[in-house]
Amino acid sequence: MVDFSGFYKLTVDERLAKLKAGGLVNDDDIKLLKDSGALKLDLADRMVENVIGVSHLPMGLATNFVINGKEYVVPMMIEEPSVIAAASNAAKLAKESGGFTAIADEPVMIGQIQFVNISDVEKALQIIKEKKDEIFTLAKSYAQQIERYGGGVKEIHARILPTIRGKMIIVEFYVDVRDAMGANTINTVLEGVAPTISEMIKGKTRLRILSNLAVKRKVTVTAVWKKELIGEEAIEGILDAYAFADSDIFRCATHNKGIMNGIDAVALATGNDWRAVEAGAHAFAAMLGYKPLTQYEKNADGNLVGTITLPIAAGTVGGAINTSPLAKVSLKLLGIKTSKELSMVMAAVGLANNFAALRALSTEGIQKGHMKLHARNIAVLAGATSGEEIDTVAAELAKSHNYDVNFAKELLVKMKK
């Protein structure tokens, strides 16, 4: 594995050279990375409508992640400073206790069909129960492709849903979508079987769509942070911060936002639908009244144990992963193939970011660290190029609490004299 110590002090070219020397990327990947992901206008024009440009985000690597004993470097795409450094730092501290332990469900997604205008919903439900085998066989015929990869339709459930527009029948299909995010697989099954069920129950078909509340596709990650490393005061602070979020929805929204900083950044870097991941996370948090997605407690040794559980519907094949050249480089850097493993990495990053945020917020506050990183950006903007120039100018900016680019330029001129 590549030695990532001091990675942040290198120039971009030096970092890329290190990745290449470690066999993590090749020259083509480097070309792509330096060419802002090489999403050309004509490809963008085929991806969405009315294209007039392409936007870019910085992509960085979070280091020090050890998950179930395996080392990872994690590509993160995000415009906010501190998030990548915070994740790396939290992972480094967790590494001292063996890193993150993760388990993930099989990648089962839920799809729903809505039937309305049914005169006798009880009878309709009975018919569906009686014809379940027939519906199951039909559903399977629309999921042959995913069956070839070991997935397929797993379960069918039907229920009566009382609504403001009367009682409806909702039929749900659980489909193992393997390494895809699964929207296409699920929606194909739903649209395929809906006319037959509609005919059976004499009901009108309305919606046929997957649910983003992917409760069958959950992931749980745990880490221990030793009191000798972070101090008892930090542990008490994090426990207080967790208690605050657990009891107050205003704080809880921000608590969960900090978790999603990390999860979304990995979703973006790997070409995943981060809105789907967001929707699933927040809906899951709301299932028992809106709650934190992470929990913290002290173990018998007085160390801090952090746990995150949430559904993550993210894939390693299909969708934008196929069209976005950078997504492929990200997956290569991660060294993963399955959606299960990707979800474990994403959840570990979410936990790491949350730990780092709570630790900083409950002790020294986040602005000090944030401004330190911001100072490095200002130094680069002012024209600092070498690691030494960046560090020296950034240190001066932080010392004087003046983050003006012109001041940074003056410092640089003085330095070079």
Binding site for ligand MEV (CB under 6 A): 80, 254-255, 257-258, 261, 357-358, 361, 366
Look up residue 311 and give its two tokens: 């559904």
* Catalytic-residue membership of 401: no
Choose, from 273, 341, 389, 396, the residue flagged as catalytic.
273
DSSP string, 151-211: -EEEEEEEEEEEETTEEEEEEEEEEE-TTB--HHHHHHHHHHHHHHHHHHHT-EEEEEEE-
Least Å distance, CB 251 to ligand MEV, is 8
> Looking at beta carbons only, is 369 or 383 nearer to ligand MEV?
369
Choose, from 13, 45, 80, 232, the residue flagged as catalytic.
80
Non-local (6+) Cβ contacts of 151 within 8 A are: 107, 143, 175, 176, 177, 178, 185
Enter the DSSP assignment of 7. Answer: G
Least Å distance, CB 260 to ligand MEV, is 9
Least Å distance, CB 236 to ligand MEV, is 17
CB 274 within 8 Å of CB 233: no
Choose, from 370, 372, 374, 409, the residue flagged as catalytic.
370
Helix (H) or strand (E) holding 353: helix 339-362
> Looking at beta carbons only, is 32 or 361 nearer to ligand MEV?
361
Spatial separation of the C-alpha atoms in residues 179 and 391, rounded to whole Å: 43
Spatial separation of the C-alpha atoms in residues 218 and 312, rounded to whole Å: 6
* Catalytic-residue membership of 255: no
User: By Cβ distance, which residue is nearest to ligand MEV?
Assistant: 258
Least Å distance, CB 361 to ligand MEV, is 6
* CB atoms closer than 10 angstroms to residue 321: 20
Nearest Cα neighbor of 85 from 265, 268, 226, 275 is 265
> Looking at beta carbons only, is 61 or 245 nearer to ligand MEV?
245
* CB atoms closer than 10 angstroms to residue 9: 12
* Catalytic-residue membership of 364: no
Nearest Cα neighbor of 264 from 405, 107, 84, 403 is 84
Least Å distance, CB 264 to ligand MEV, is 11
> Looking at beta carbons only, is 80 or 130 nearer to ligand MEV?
80
Choose, from 257, 328, 332, 409, the residue flagged as catalytic.
257
* Catalytic-residue membership of 80: yes
> Looking at beta carbons only, is 146 or 358 nearer to ligand MEV?
358
Least Å distance, CB 345 to ligand MEV, is 20
> Looking at beta carbons only, is 320 or 361 nearer to ligand MEV?
361
CB 318 within 8 Å of CB 351: no
Hey, which residues are catalytic here? 80, 257, 273, 370
